[in-house]
Amino acid sequence: MNDPEWDDEVDVVCTDTGLAGLATAISAADQDGEVFLASAPTPARHGWFTFDSTFDDDEATADYIGSLTSDIDVSALSQHDADLPVRAAGEPVPVRRRPIPAFDGARLRDWAARCIPSPTGYLYTQVTDWTSATMDRGDGDLVKVTEIGEVIPDIADPIGSVRRWLTAQAEDRDLWPQPVTRFERLVFEDHVVTGAVFATADGPLAVRARHGVLICRHEDVTRGPASDGLTGQDRLRVALVGKEASRFGRVELLTD
């Protein structure tokens, strides 16, 4: 079951057109990467990560998701940060001075617990991301940041306005979402994720990913503004933000 006939091969597979999916597709395309951007028919309404229950029919995918959250009670998580967090970008860390971070399970667990309930959260099957830069936000905790561009978010609909901007940016790069019924499962070779299978109106579609698979959902978010600090005149930078050694991340707005 985990050895499909590949229908397509790209660098990055994005499972939906949520903020993270659009931003990842754009960042990969800007690095001359090939992208498969899927689009499911309906947005998520109860958190992007709750759809892991749909993998019950595929033991390998369910085990993979479970191993990444084995020390987290996902059902008990609540959102502590704004729908679309706004924070200072930090200072870039040159490669020659970049420290090798010590593995900190508690810090990585806390980061995952912030990303999973976030409407802009995502899971990327690779720990490394060739599009990102390492930033130091001054608290001793390094983050991996991929900036997409600048936008003035609508304070009444921050996620919607940023999503519309990302959609336009994707179209400018000829990135057009491919309609699917749903994201069905991951594909593994020697316990490494090598692609994804989608259900479509014409049957299963298997797409090989040379680098990784970005799992997210398009969330139907109707909660309040992203931050009390937004004025409607702020030009902020849209970015994918992750941490060293973590597969979890989220989209944030960055200030200087």
Q: Tens of pLDDT along 88-116?
A: 888 888 765 555 555 577 889 999 999 99
Average confidence (pLDDT) over 5-15 = 97
Rounded Cα distance between 12 and 194, Å, is 10
Comparing 104 with 231, the larger pLDDT belongs to: 104
Range of the domain at 24: 8-255
Burial label for 43, CB within 10 Å (0-12, 13-18, 19+), is middle
pLDDT reading at 11 higher than 60: yes
What pLDDT score does 231 carry? 62
∠ Cα 55 56 59 (to 5°): 85
Total domains in the chain come to 1
pLDDT reading at 46 higher than 80: no
Residue 19's φ and ψ, nearest 5 degrees, are -55, -45
Does the pTM surpass 0.85? The reply is yes
* Domain-embedded: residue 35: yes
* Domain-embedded: residue 3: no
Q: Which of 29-43, 133-147, 148-162 is the least confident region?
A: 133-147
Q: Are 154 and 14 in contact (CB under 8 A)?
A: no
pLDDT reading at 24 higher than 80: yes
* Domain-embedded: residue 63: yes
Comparing 47 with 154, the larger pLDDT belongs to: 154
Average confidence (pLDDT) over 5-31 = 96
Q: Which of 153, 173, 215, 152 is nearest to 12 (CA)?
A: 215
CA quadruple 7, 8, 14, 17: dihedral, nearest 10:
-80
Q: Average model confidence (pLDDT) for the chain? A: 87
Average confidence (pLDDT) over 123-138 = 87
Mark 201-233 as b/e (b = at least 16 C-beta within 10 Å): eeeebbbbbebbbbbbbbbebeeebbbeebeee
225 pLDDT band, cuts 50/70/90, is: very low
pLDDT reading at 16 higher than 50: yes
Q: Which pair of structure tokens corresponds to residue 78? A: 């609540």
* Domain-embedded: residue 1: no
Please state, in angstroms and as integers, the Cα–Cα distance from residue 37 to each residue in 21, 124, 190, 207, following that order. Answer: 7, 14, 25, 11
What pLDDT score does 2 carry? 56
* Domain-embedded: residue 45: yes
What pLDDT score does 229 carry? 58
Average confidence (pLDDT) over 207-221 = 90
* Domain-embedded: residue 203: yes
68 pLDDT band, cuts 50/70/90, is: very high
What pLDDT score does 217 carry? 86
178 pLDDT band, cuts 50/70/90, is: very high
Residue 212's φ and ψ, nearest 5 degrees, are -170, 170
Rounded Cα distance between 36 and 177, Å, is 8
